Structure 1
Amino acid sequence: MIKGFGQKHLGFRFRIHPLFHFVLAFSVLTGAFVEIITLFVIVLAHEMGHVGMAKALGWQVQEVQLLPFGGVAIVEDKGAVPVLEELAVAAAGPLQHVWLIGFAWLMRECGWWSVEWSQYFIEANLMIGMFNLLPILPLDGGKIVQALISCYLSYYRALQATAWASLATSVLFLTGALSYSFAHNVHLNAIAIGLFLCYANWEHKRGLPYHFVRFLMKREQFDRASGMALPIIVHREQTVGEIVRMLMRDRQHLIYIADEHGGIRRIIREQALIRHYFNRNNGRSAVSSLFM
């Protein structure tokens, strides 16, 4: 880990995954060291695009990790920031490849880079950029899809939908890599990436309750007073746990509690509901037992 430099000069930790050293060693043995270092620089530029946008928006950047198959910038919790900001941060990484491709073209036109090297650099940027736009978590495309879906579904349902879709797409990616390897040449990189994505998404799916709890804990940090409250009508017998799963991102809510005949018996703010959910561990309690 390049710990001291990152924390002192950049404000976040900078870590290189141990397996990346094995990749570098293998590249030396195979004579592909320059190509691997080039990919390293491209991935670093991609991640610094995320970091630059996040810092410009006032986010807290915790760590940047460079993995054998790419990189990841660990920033504030998803769901705790506005959707537009998350979209901007997610898109900032792939957008770095636009100027990198333009830079390679300029170097070629000026005669400072060979046609072959410029072509390799451009193709590497296209490959990394397009791969990161796949609708799979934790790739940028998956983050963008999740942010967009959370505009139309409750945050809990958005988490579930994107987790299942991302896991299914990861399995399809791995299946495609294996099928190609059986039909043509073995593609170890694609298989390894597919296995990594499947594992990462399985772990992400298992951690959905944790992500949702973090979302609830962060809701009171943002000023939503300027927006109109979105009503949620619930039956008196519905549990607090069921109701908090109806909350939407970037919206404040008023909870209307109805009786058996559909009449509204009580109106409560979402903050009161969340406090009961946490402070009294009443997620399974009927809302009527707490507010009526």
Structure 2
Amino acid sequence: MINLLLLVRVHPLFWFVVALGIATGYFRELLMLFVIVCFHELGHAVAAKYFGWRLRKIELLPFGGVAETEEYGNRPYREELIVILAGPFQHLILMAFSWIAVSLFPFWTTSDHEAFLFHNSALLFFNLLPLWPLDGGKLLQLITCKFLPFREAQTWTLRFSFGFLMIVALITALFYPMHLQWWVILVFLSVCHYLEWRQQPYGFLRFLLERRLLANQREKKNILIHVSSKESIHAALRRLHKDKQTVYKIKETGHLIEERDLLDHWFQTRESHVSIGTLAHL
């Protein structure tokens, strides 16, 4: 646990929000939110550490937090699902503790309890919305990866998430046009979508590199994909599925090409537009 606490970082804007809370008399509520967010992110971190994930940092942001890892989409579905849900699960634990505390400790008043339950419920609901980079958005990508190749899942997750964000923005404009804090959050999420959209190729590259490095470390279900000999290596790599070992079968010749051979060739030559059929003759 001490090692995890050493990974905690605080975004500079977080201190601005703290100062704002003190100036406006909402420091107690802000302290509650700070505790909730810390436990939420530590839930992710503890689960990730349990499965041996490489943790980079736990950062507290002005409107929440994030536990960053050095994992790029090649962990088993079960592990990723548990790590994603470990954060929201902390809200349920905290609410249970609050119910106990209100009956045992005089300093924890009924108003404190009600405020704590409200903040927990609000953050839990908000965090599970299908918006990137919230836990709901990560669940959306995990589900999408079940049906689409990883690269397509990246794109469609962001498209759906951005569409949902536009619906939320429209509802906000119609019913809560003067809610400044909510608009700031929506702008923040919009920037996150833009940056993630721009970084898709780099995220996919990290996925491929990690896939190559972990090729012999985990057993995966094999899937057979029929491809034309004229299809480029780049296009073939975009067909890779999460947690499935891909074997390519050339339609014209019947040759079988393992995904590792494709990855090795691409990383050694970087010839992404060469046809996959040329590998069958190497």
Same fold, judged at TM 0.5 (above): yes
Distance 1:37 1:245 in 2: 45
Partner of 1:252: 245
Map of 1:184-195 to 2, 5 A cutoff? 186-195=178-187
Q: Which amino acid aligns with 1:60?
A: R
CA RMSD between the two structures: 1.8
Contact 1:174 1:190 in 2 (8 A): no
- 2:271 is aligned, of 263, 282, 286, to 282
Q: Map residues 1-292 of structure 1 onto 2, 5 A cutoff.
A: 9-10=3-4, 13-110=7-104, 112=106, 113-182=108-177, 186-220=178-212, 221-223=214-216, 226-259=219-252, 263-264=253-254, 266-292=255-281
Q: What is the CA deviation profile of residues 36-75 of structure 1, one whole-angstrom value per residue up to 9, with x for unaligned ones?
A: 1111111001000001111111111110110110000001
Identity of aligned residues (%): 34
Residues 128-158 of structure 1, C-alpha deviations (whole Å, 9 max, x = no match)? 1111101111100111111121122111111
One-letter amino acid of the structure 2 residue matched with residue 187 of structure 1: H
Secondary structure of the corresponding residue to residue 152 of structure 1: coil
Separation in 2, partners of 1:31, 1:227 = 55
Q: State how far apart, in whole Å, the 2-side matches of 1:256 and 1:160 are.
A: 26
- Cα distance in 2 for partners of 1:192, 1:288 equals 51
- Alignment TM-score, normalising by the size of structure 2: 0.93
Per-residue deviation at 1:76?
2.4
Deviations 1:168-219 (A, max 9, x none): 222222333233333xxx2111111100111101110111111111111111
Unaligned stretches of 5+ in structure 2?
Answer: none
Give yes or no for contact 2:98–2:113 (8 Å, CA) kept in 1. yes
Partner-residue secondary structure (3-state), 2:65? strand
Task: Tell me: CA distance 1:131–1:28, structure 2 relative to 1, closer, same or farther (3 Å).
Answer: same
Q: Distance in 2 between matches of 1:82 and 1:272?
A: 22
Equivalent residues of 2:151, 2:204 under 8 A apart? yes
Preserved contact between residue 72 and residue 210 of structure 2 (Cα < 8 Å): no
SS in 2 for 1:170: helix
Distance in 2 between the 1:290 and 1:143 partners? 35
Deviation at 1:82, TM superposition (A): 1.5
Cα 1:120–1:249 change in 2 (3 A) is same
Question: Alpha carbons of 1:34 and 1:76: their partners in 2 closer, same or farther (altered >3 Å)?
Answer: same
Equivalenced residue count is 279
